[in-house]
Structures are given as C-alpha cells and as structure tokens.
A = this chain, B = another copy of it.
C-alpha cells in the first residue's frame, strides 16, 4: 500500500525504475527499502491506473530506459496520502527475539545477543551521524536555512539519530544488567 505512494513521492521528478532504486539506496534506506522486482510491477500498475505516464528514452548508452512521470491524478493520490493519519502497529523482529531470549538454554546467549545488538545499532548510529555531519559542514545554519523540500528529509534523519541513540543506551543498560546478574 505504501510503496505506491512512496513512488509517487519520488516521482516529483521523472525517473526510471532503476533510478528510483538508486534513490531508495541513497536517501530512504533508513526507513524504507524496495527491491527492483517490486518497483517495476508497481510502476506498471500505477501507469494502468493513470497515476503515471511513461516513455522510452533513446539508449544513450546501454539498454533503453523507461521514464515515468506523475500525472495529476497521481499527484492528487499522493496529496491525499500525505494527510492520512499514521497506522498503529510497528514490527520489530529483534524485539521478538529479545522477548523470548530466556527460553534459550545456553546462559551466555542473552549476553551474546545484546552484544551483537549493541554493535549493530552503534554502527547504524555512526552512519547516521556521518550523514548529519556532512549536512552540517555543507550547509551552515541548518536547519533554519533549509527549504521545505530539504527540511522534511532532514527531519527523518534527526529522528533516526534520536531513536538510535536511545536504542544504543538501552542496549548498554541491558547488557550491564545482564552482566550484574551473572554474579
């Protein structure tokens, strides 16, 4: 349901399926990802519904590209989605793993699990921090100075940072608690 709307959002500028996938990797991967095998059929469906138009671009190099652009109908659909209330439930597989951790017989398994959790979240945090550092060095006066079109993507970055910081702290506290209980 959401990929449709995300594609409509990305297609503020015309682009090919492949370029859209690049955009996912470059800018959205912190909260969304999509495989090409999902992108292409979804673009087709959106075209069938009249929300996108496409044409083949002459092959400058390599195979020809099919370039999609958003129609008015597509833009309307996007604007409606942008006003929808958010959906309730989130899914965190690793929290399910934590939840049942006590069922694993081996006594160090919980400690090991949290150590690897901590590592992974520290790494994510580092990645996000680097991106923020780059924004800050390139654009002094951030965020006040930003245009709206950059401000909201920037906000998704700051939330990612805040949440990851909270998660790293939680991992550390949990690890300490687990280690204290060993004795």
CB distance from A168 to the nearest CB of B (A): 10
Q: Is A86 an interface residue (CB 8 A)?
A: yes
Task: Digitize A122-138: 1 where CB-to-B-CB distance is under 8 Å, 0 elsewhere.
Answer: 00000000000000000
Q: How far is the CA of A5 from the CA of B153 in the complex (A)?
A: 35
User: Are A97 and B79 in contact, CB atoms less than 8 angstroms apart?
Assistant: no
> Which residues of chain B are within 8 angstroms of A29 by Cβ–Cβ distance?
89
For A15, list chain B residues within 8 Å (CB): none
- A98 near B156: Cβ-Cβ < 8 Å: yes
Which B residues lie within 8 Å of A18 (CB)?
none
**Whole-angstrom distance between the Cβ of A131 and the nearest chain B Cβ:** 14
Chain B minimum-CB-distance residue to A104:
B82
A140 adjacent to chain B (CB < 8 Å): no
Can you list 15 pairs linking A and B with CB atoms under 8 Å apart?
A: A2-B91, A32-B96, A33-B91, A82-B103, A85-B116, A86-B93, A86-B94, A87-B94, A95-B156, A102-B148, A103-B149, A143-B177, A144-B181, A151-B177, A166-B166
Q: Is the interface of A mostly helix, strand, loop or mixed?
A: helix
Q: Are A113 and B82 in contact (CB under 8 A)?
A: yes
Asked if A6 CB lies within 8 Å of chain B CBs, one says yes
Complex contact B103–A31 (CB within 8 A): no
CB-nearest residue of chain B to A70 = B103
Interface mask (A60-96 → B, CB under 8 Å = 1, otherwise 0): 0000000000000000001101111111011111111
Complex contacts, A149 vs chain B, CB 8 Å: 102-103
Question: In the docked arrangement, what's the CA distance between A91 and B87, Å?
Answer: 12
Residues on B with C-beta less than 8 A from A163 are: 163, 166-167
